[in-house]
Each structure stands twice: as C-alpha cells, then as structure tokens.
Amino acid sequence: MNKLLIFLVLLSVPLRSAGKDFPDRFDSFTKLQDLEVEEEEEEDGDNELEVLSWESARSNKVLVNVDGFGAVGDGVSDDSQAFVNAWKQACSTPKSVLLVPEGRRYLVNATRFKGPCADKLVIQIEGTIVAPDEPKSWDPKNPRNWLSFYNLTKAVTIDSSSAIRVKGLTIQNGQQMNFVIGRSDSVRVIDVKVSAPEDSPNTDGIHITDSTNVVLQNCRIGTGDDCISIVNGSTSIKMKNIYCGPGHGISIGSLGKDNSTGIVEKIVLDKAFLRGTTNGLRIKTWQTSAVEISQIMYRNVTGTSKSQKAMKFACSDTVPCTHIVLNNINLQRSDGTVETYCNSAAGFGYGYIQPSAECLSSSDKDKIIMQKKETETAQTSTEHLIHTEL
C-alpha cells in the first residue's frame, strides 16, 4: 500500500571536511557535495518515516481525518471547504496528523493553507487529491498555484517556511509548475515523483526560488518543461539520484530579465540520469544581466539529449558564470553528435566528460593543481625537491 508522509523535522547534517584538492573558496562548496539526508528519530522513540499505525497503543498523535469534516471523496463533489476546516483543526493541534484516506479521490479547488501551526504537524495522503479542470476554479491572482502552504515552520510548505521534509509525494498532470519551493530554508524532498505530458508547457517539475539549504533526493520527474529549475536567490542546493525525462532537462535560470541583478551559487547535481531531455544540463541568463552564478558542480550524470547542445552554459557578458565544475559526464544523442555551448562561462572538467567542455575557460584548474603540488612539495625534504610541469 503506497503511503505519503509529508512532515517536518529540523535535520542535523554532518559535513565532512573539504578536500585538499580545492582552494579555500571551495570549502563550503565541497561540503555541500557531500550533503546527505539522514533519518532522525523522534524524542518518543518513534520514527515518523514509518507508516503511522493508529491502532498502536504507542501512538500519541491526534488524528484529523478530512472525512470527519464533510469530505465526500468521489472525485466530483467539491471537498475544498472540508480540507480547509480539517487544516484549521490540525494546524492548531500539537502532534496532529491530517489524514487523507486511501481509496478515494478528493476534488479540491485552488486553496492556500496558512500557518503558523502547532508543533510536529504531519500530513499523510493515502488517497488522491485532484485539481479542477475549469480555469475559473483557480485563483485569478495566482493562476500558477493550486495547493500552497504558507508561513509554516516544522511543517510542509511551499512558501516562506523552514525545516521542511516531504517524502513519497506523487504529483500528476499539474497545469503549471508542479512543485515550488520559494523563500524557504532547510528543505528535504525525498522520493518524490512528478509527471506531466511531454507537450505540456510551463510544467516545471520542481522549481526552486529564493531558497537555501535544499536537498532533492531520489526523485523521478518527467514533464513538458524543466525537470528541475533553479532561479534567483537560491544557494546551497543539492540534488542527488535524480531521474529526469521527458522534459527540458535540469536548468539554472532563466535569470536577469530587464538587466536585473541576482545570485545563484553552491549548486550540486550528483548522480542523475537524463532520458531524452530536450537540453540536458543548462544555465540560461540574459546576456546583459548582472546575475552572479558561481560554484556549480555537475557530477556522475548520464543519459541522452534530443538537441545537439547537451550542455549549455549561456551566461551574462556583464557578469560571467564562474567556478563551474564537471566530473564524470556522459551525455549522448541517438541520432547524432552532441556538444557543449559556453558563453562567458568559466570552470573546468575532470574525469570522463562527454561532450567535451573545453569551451569552459578558467584558471581554477591550474590553481587547484598548483595548490595540490605545493602540499605534496611541503611533505618532501628540501634536499630532494622535484619540480614537474603539468
């Protein structure tokens, strides 16, 4: 039986010390690439990642079932108000669990669930929540939002929240961006699946904006737009074990429209498979913008691209991208060759890189090699110094 738990705990994530192969400015970057999701047990000894059992005498949770607030669950009746009323009850009750029962389809119109809420709120979705077909049922002020969670701490959220964990969520056929993380900090998204038709426009799978310390892990995304898009104000983002396709690939941007300023830095994609994506990996900024993009790492990425430009780093001529690092990349094209496009992009690659990324121009690699050589030299007797040009 498939379960969905959406809940929050504040994670303590151990970071290994940065390796000596990187200059000091990469210290936080190398820590980020080692970031992992760790399970954390509750104070009462119960692990909230386990399926909740209401029959258990050990359970000290307060169950709030949407059916108890008048939800019908036939996929036709409007259950929006029942969800709102259930939310108000769960949000105000410590250690509550908002339950959407299995085996039913609940029609819910565009709804905003507001916080702050009491401590240790859990949202458990076992049934299916469906969106309305008619545009008139959506919020005309925010037509891209369907279900949004606002001003929450230690709870599930999309906007202006912190210390979030979302696990096992499945999102299907969103009419706009499927899952948005905005203005939030310390968010963990695990085992999430997002699907939309390949020809559906503007259906980004997971969209991250103005957020920090976000981990996406073990996610499968196939849409008509970017699998993952990261835009302005985002830093310390780690993506690991990502399956992407169909879709436009994994993107940073677009950024810098109307010559605007901004920053995106410390982004790591580690272990990803791209299946028939339109663009593969890309950074996209407006050419005259002042957006600073720095410390971006792509490693252990394989798969296929439909376009010739499997990697595209189109950065601003005004403020170039810096410190782009590629490691173990293998992107192919079924009906031709692939290439990497660079504009005002500085960085380097090591290990196997396909397509070649020689268009990345940077002195970073030389500085790293020099620092490593200096470290090795310091360990050698001064009487036996050997200088080798690399």
Residue type, 47: N
Q: Are 202 and 178 in contact (CB under 8 A)?
A: no
Nearest-angstrom CA–CA distance, 27 and 364 = 14
Three-state SS at 313: strand
The residue from 248, 323, 384, 387 that is catalytic is: 248
The H or E element that residue 33 is part of is helix 27-33
DSSP 8-state assignment for residue 260: -
CA 377 vs. chain centroid, Å, equals 41
DSSP 8-state assignment for residue 19: P
User: Which residues have C-beta within 8 Å of that of residue 270, sequence separation ≥ 6?
Assistant: 33, 238, 239, 240, 297, 299, 300
DSSP 8-state assignment for residue 368: H
Within 56-104, residue ranges assigned H as helices are 80-91
User: Which residues have C-beta within 8 Å of that of residue 389, sequence separation ≥ 6?
Assistant: none
Is 207 among the catalytic positions? no
Nearest-angstrom CA–CA distance, 168 and 193 = 8
Phi, psi dihedrals of residue 370, rounded to the nearest 5°: -65, -40
Hey, which residues are catalytic here?
A: 248
